[in-house]
Amino acid sequence: MITPTNLKHLPRHVAIIMDGNGRWAKQRGLPRLAGHRQGVNTTQKVVEIFIEYKIPYLTLYVFSTENWNRPKREVDEIFKILEERLEEGIKFAQENGIRIRHLGKPDGLPLRLQERVKRALELTHNNTRMTVSLAFNYGGRDEIVEATRSLILGCISPQDINEKLFSQYLYTADIPDPDLVIRTGGEMRLSNFLIWQSAYAEFYFTPVLWPGFGKKEIDKALIFYSQRQRRFGGLPPE
Protein backbone atom coordinates (compact mmCIF):
# COMPACT_ATOMS: atom_id res chain seq x y z
CA MET A 1 0.00 0.00 0.00
CA ILE A 2 1.33 3.43 -0.92
CA THR A 3 0.74 6.71 0.83
CA PRO A 4 1.45 10.29 -0.23
CA THR A 5 4.59 10.24 1.94
CA ASN A 6 6.34 7.15 0.59
CA LEU A 7 6.57 8.21 -3.05
CA LYS A 8 9.35 10.40 -4.42
CA HIS A 9 6.83 12.87 -5.77
CA LEU A 10 3.15 13.08 -6.65
CA PRO A 11 1.58 14.84 -9.61
CA ARG A 12 -0.11 18.14 -8.99
CA HIS A 13 -2.64 17.59 -11.78
CA VAL A 14 -3.98 14.24 -12.97
CA ALA A 15 -6.20 13.99 -16.06
CA ILE A 16 -8.14 10.82 -16.86
CA ILE A 17 -9.69 9.52 -20.08
CA MET A 18 -12.49 7.37 -18.65
CA ASP A 19 -12.92 4.67 -21.27
CA GLY A 20 -14.68 1.30 -21.25
CA ASN A 21 -18.18 1.76 -19.83
CA GLY A 22 -19.87 0.16 -22.83
CA ARG A 23 -17.49 -2.80 -22.99
CA TRP A 24 -17.83 -3.36 -19.24
CA ALA A 25 -21.61 -3.62 -19.67
CA LYS A 26 -21.35 -5.85 -22.75
CA GLN A 27 -19.07 -8.30 -20.94
CA ARG A 28 -21.84 -8.72 -18.36
CA GLY A 29 -24.72 -8.96 -20.82
CA LEU A 30 -26.03 -5.56 -19.70
CA PRO A 31 -27.18 -2.55 -21.75
CA ARG A 32 -24.58 0.15 -22.35
CA LEU A 33 -26.57 2.48 -20.09
CA ALA A 34 -25.75 0.22 -17.13
CA GLY A 35 -22.06 0.70 -17.89
CA HIS A 36 -22.44 4.47 -17.92
CA ARG A 37 -24.27 4.42 -14.58
CA GLN A 38 -21.59 2.23 -13.05
CA GLY A 39 -18.99 4.55 -14.51
CA VAL A 40 -20.51 7.49 -12.62
CA ASN A 41 -20.30 5.51 -9.37
CA THR A 42 -16.63 4.83 -10.10
CA THR A 43 -16.02 8.52 -10.72
CA GLN A 44 -17.00 9.54 -7.20
CA LYS A 45 -14.87 6.79 -5.66
CA VAL A 46 -11.88 7.87 -7.75
CA VAL A 47 -12.30 11.49 -6.67
CA GLU A 48 -12.37 10.34 -3.04
CA ILE A 49 -9.07 8.46 -3.54
CA PHE A 50 -7.36 11.47 -5.09
CA ILE A 51 -8.59 13.60 -2.20
CA GLU A 52 -6.81 11.18 0.15
CA TYR A 53 -3.60 11.64 -1.86
CA LYS A 54 -4.05 15.42 -1.72
CA ILE A 55 -3.89 15.83 -5.49
CA PRO A 56 -5.11 19.41 -5.98
CA TYR A 57 -6.26 19.15 -9.61
CA LEU A 58 -8.18 16.34 -11.31
CA THR A 59 -9.65 16.52 -14.81
CA LEU A 60 -12.09 13.91 -16.09
CA TYR A 61 -12.96 13.36 -19.77
CA VAL A 62 -16.70 12.80 -19.65
CA PHE A 63 -18.07 13.48 -23.15
CA SER A 64 -16.12 14.53 -26.23
CA THR A 65 -17.28 16.59 -29.19
CA GLU A 66 -16.94 13.37 -31.22
CA ASN A 67 -19.30 11.49 -28.88
CA TRP A 68 -22.22 13.27 -30.57
CA ASN A 69 -21.73 10.69 -33.34
CA ARG A 70 -23.07 7.96 -31.05
CA PRO A 71 -26.73 6.88 -31.27
CA LYS A 72 -29.03 9.69 -30.10
CA ARG A 73 -30.64 7.46 -27.49
CA GLU A 74 -27.27 6.77 -25.84
CA VAL A 75 -26.29 10.46 -25.92
CA ASP A 76 -29.62 11.46 -24.37
CA GLU A 77 -29.20 8.86 -21.64
CA ILE A 78 -25.67 10.05 -20.84
CA PHE A 79 -26.94 13.60 -20.40
CA LYS A 80 -29.84 12.34 -18.30
CA ILE A 81 -27.40 10.56 -15.97
CA LEU A 82 -25.30 13.72 -15.69
CA GLU A 83 -28.40 15.75 -14.82
CA GLU A 84 -29.44 13.24 -12.17
CA ARG A 85 -26.04 12.99 -10.54
CA LEU A 86 -24.92 16.62 -10.63
CA GLU A 87 -27.06 17.61 -7.64
CA GLU A 88 -25.54 14.78 -5.63
CA GLY A 89 -22.15 15.83 -6.96
CA ILE A 90 -22.65 19.39 -5.75
CA LYS A 91 -23.42 18.15 -2.24
CA PHE A 92 -20.33 15.91 -2.30
CA ALA A 93 -18.20 18.79 -3.57
CA GLN A 94 -19.41 21.15 -0.86
CA GLU A 95 -18.75 18.59 1.87
CA ASN A 96 -15.21 18.00 0.59
CA GLY A 97 -14.14 21.51 -0.42
CA ILE A 98 -14.11 20.73 -4.14
CA ARG A 99 -14.38 23.39 -6.82
CA ILE A 100 -16.16 22.07 -9.92
CA ARG A 101 -15.04 23.33 -13.33
CA HIS A 102 -16.54 22.69 -16.75
CA LEU A 103 -14.25 22.40 -19.75
CA GLY A 104 -16.03 22.63 -23.08
CA LYS A 105 -18.95 24.37 -24.74
CA PRO A 106 -22.32 24.64 -22.98
CA ASP A 107 -23.90 25.27 -26.39
CA GLY A 108 -25.85 22.30 -27.65
CA LEU A 109 -26.24 20.68 -24.24
CA PRO A 110 -29.80 20.21 -22.90
CA LEU A 111 -31.00 23.37 -21.13
CA ARG A 112 -31.59 21.55 -17.85
CA LEU A 113 -28.05 20.21 -17.91
CA GLN A 114 -26.70 23.69 -18.67
CA GLU A 115 -28.59 25.02 -15.65
CA ARG A 116 -27.25 22.26 -13.39
CA VAL A 117 -23.70 22.91 -14.57
CA LYS A 118 -24.06 26.65 -13.97
CA ARG A 119 -25.39 25.97 -10.49
CA ALA A 120 -22.49 23.60 -9.72
CA LEU A 121 -19.92 26.16 -10.84
CA GLU A 122 -21.49 28.98 -8.85
CA LEU A 123 -22.00 27.05 -5.61
CA THR A 124 -18.50 25.55 -5.52
CA HIS A 125 -16.59 28.52 -6.89
CA ASN A 126 -14.91 29.42 -3.59
CA ASN A 127 -13.86 25.88 -2.60
CA THR A 128 -10.09 25.48 -2.45
CA ARG A 129 -9.23 21.94 -1.34
CA MET A 130 -9.37 20.45 -4.82
CA THR A 131 -10.43 21.43 -8.35
CA VAL A 132 -12.29 18.79 -10.34
CA SER A 133 -12.73 19.73 -14.00
CA LEU A 134 -15.39 17.89 -15.97
CA ALA A 135 -14.66 17.94 -19.69
CA PHE A 136 -17.86 17.36 -21.61
CA ASN A 137 -18.86 18.64 -25.00
CA TYR A 138 -15.10 19.09 -25.10
CA GLY A 139 -12.57 18.61 -27.86
CA GLY A 140 -8.91 19.62 -27.81
CA ARG A 141 -8.85 20.87 -31.41
CA ASP A 142 -12.09 22.77 -30.90
CA GLU A 143 -10.60 24.37 -27.77
CA ILE A 144 -7.59 25.60 -29.75
CA VAL A 145 -9.82 26.97 -32.52
CA GLU A 146 -11.98 28.79 -29.95
CA ALA A 147 -8.90 30.26 -28.29
CA THR A 148 -7.62 31.47 -31.66
CA ARG A 149 -11.00 33.00 -32.46
CA SER A 150 -11.00 34.82 -29.11
CA LEU A 151 -7.52 36.21 -29.77
CA ILE A 152 -8.65 37.54 -33.13
CA LEU A 153 -11.85 39.06 -31.73
CA GLY A 154 -9.78 40.63 -28.94
CA CYS A 155 -7.66 42.38 -31.57
CA ILE A 156 -4.48 41.00 -30.02
CA SER A 157 -1.42 42.11 -31.93
CA PRO A 158 0.38 39.12 -33.55
CA GLN A 159 3.73 40.07 -32.01
CA ASP A 160 2.14 39.92 -28.54
CA ILE A 161 1.00 36.31 -28.95
CA ASN A 162 3.12 33.69 -27.21
CA GLU A 163 2.47 30.35 -25.50
CA LYS A 164 1.74 31.94 -22.13
CA LEU A 165 -0.82 34.36 -23.58
CA PHE A 166 -2.41 31.67 -25.75
CA SER A 167 -2.84 29.39 -22.72
CA GLN A 168 -4.88 32.12 -21.03
CA TYR A 169 -7.51 31.77 -23.75
CA LEU A 170 -7.97 28.02 -23.23
CA TYR A 171 -10.69 26.49 -21.04
CA THR A 172 -7.94 25.56 -18.57
CA ALA A 173 -6.68 29.14 -18.18
CA ASP A 174 -6.31 29.03 -14.38
CA ILE A 175 -5.36 25.36 -14.10
CA PRO A 176 -1.79 23.99 -14.34
CA ASP A 177 -1.03 21.62 -17.20
CA PRO A 178 -1.55 17.94 -16.36
CA ASP A 179 1.49 16.11 -15.02
CA LEU A 180 -0.04 12.68 -15.52
CA VAL A 181 -2.64 11.52 -18.04
CA ILE A 182 -4.30 8.16 -17.34
CA ARG A 183 -6.37 6.28 -19.91
CA THR A 184 -8.42 3.24 -18.96
CA GLY A 185 -9.84 0.61 -21.31
CA GLY A 186 -6.69 -0.49 -23.15
CA GLU A 187 -6.58 2.12 -25.92
CA MET A 188 -3.34 4.08 -26.31
CA ARG A 189 -4.29 7.49 -27.69
CA LEU A 190 -5.38 10.91 -26.42
CA SER A 191 -8.63 11.05 -28.40
CA ASN A 192 -8.54 14.85 -28.72
CA PHE A 193 -8.12 15.37 -24.96
CA LEU A 194 -6.03 18.28 -23.62
CA ILE A 195 -3.75 18.09 -26.65
CA TRP A 196 -2.16 21.51 -25.97
CA GLN A 197 -1.88 21.03 -22.21
CA SER A 198 -0.46 17.49 -22.35
CA ALA A 199 2.68 18.40 -24.31
CA TYR A 200 4.94 17.29 -21.43
CA ALA A 201 2.61 15.06 -19.43
CA GLU A 202 3.51 11.50 -18.48
CA PHE A 203 1.08 8.88 -19.85
CA TYR A 204 -0.22 5.77 -18.11
CA PHE A 205 -2.38 3.31 -20.04
CA THR A 206 -4.24 0.46 -18.38
CA PRO A 207 -6.44 -2.29 -19.87
CA VAL A 208 -8.79 -2.01 -16.88
CA LEU A 209 -12.20 -0.71 -17.99
CA TRP A 210 -13.38 2.46 -16.27
CA PRO A 211 -16.10 0.88 -14.08
CA GLY A 212 -13.44 -1.45 -12.65
CA PHE A 213 -10.86 1.27 -12.09
CA GLY A 214 -9.96 1.87 -8.45
CA LYS A 215 -7.25 2.33 -5.87
CA LYS A 216 -5.08 -0.54 -7.07
CA GLU A 217 -4.73 0.97 -10.54
CA ILE A 218 -4.39 4.50 -9.16
CA ASP A 219 -1.51 3.31 -7.00
CA LYS A 220 0.16 1.72 -10.04
CA ALA A 221 -0.20 4.96 -11.98
CA LEU A 222 1.22 7.07 -9.15
CA ILE A 223 4.15 4.69 -8.63
CA PHE A 224 4.83 4.83 -12.38
CA TYR A 225 4.75 8.64 -12.26
CA SER A 226 7.01 8.85 -9.22
CA GLN A 227 9.66 6.83 -11.05
CA ARG A 228 9.70 9.10 -14.10
CA GLN A 229 12.39 11.73 -14.55
CA ARG A 230 10.75 14.80 -16.08
CA ARG A 231 13.27 16.87 -18.04
CA PHE A 232 11.00 19.07 -20.20
CA GLY A 233 13.46 18.91 -23.08
CA GLY A 234 16.56 19.42 -20.92
CA LEU A 235 19.25 17.03 -19.76
CA PRO A 236 19.22 15.03 -16.52
CA PRO A 237 21.42 16.39 -13.71
CA GLU A 238 24.92 14.87 -13.67
Q: What is the DSSP string of the chain?
A: ---TTSSS---SEEEEE---HHHHHHHTT--HHHHHHHHHHHHHHHHHHHHHTT-SEEEEEEEEGGGGGS-HHHHHHHHHHHHHHHHHHHHHHHHHTEEEEEES--TTS-HHHHHHHHHHHHHHTT--SEEEEEEEEE-HHHHHHHHHHHHHHTT--GGG--HHHHHTTSTTTTSPPPSEEEE-SS--S-SSSSTTTTTT-EEEE--S-GGG--HHHHHHHHHHHHT----TTSPPP-
CA nearest to 99, candidates 119, 124, 120, 135 = 124
> Catalytic residue numbers?
19, 67
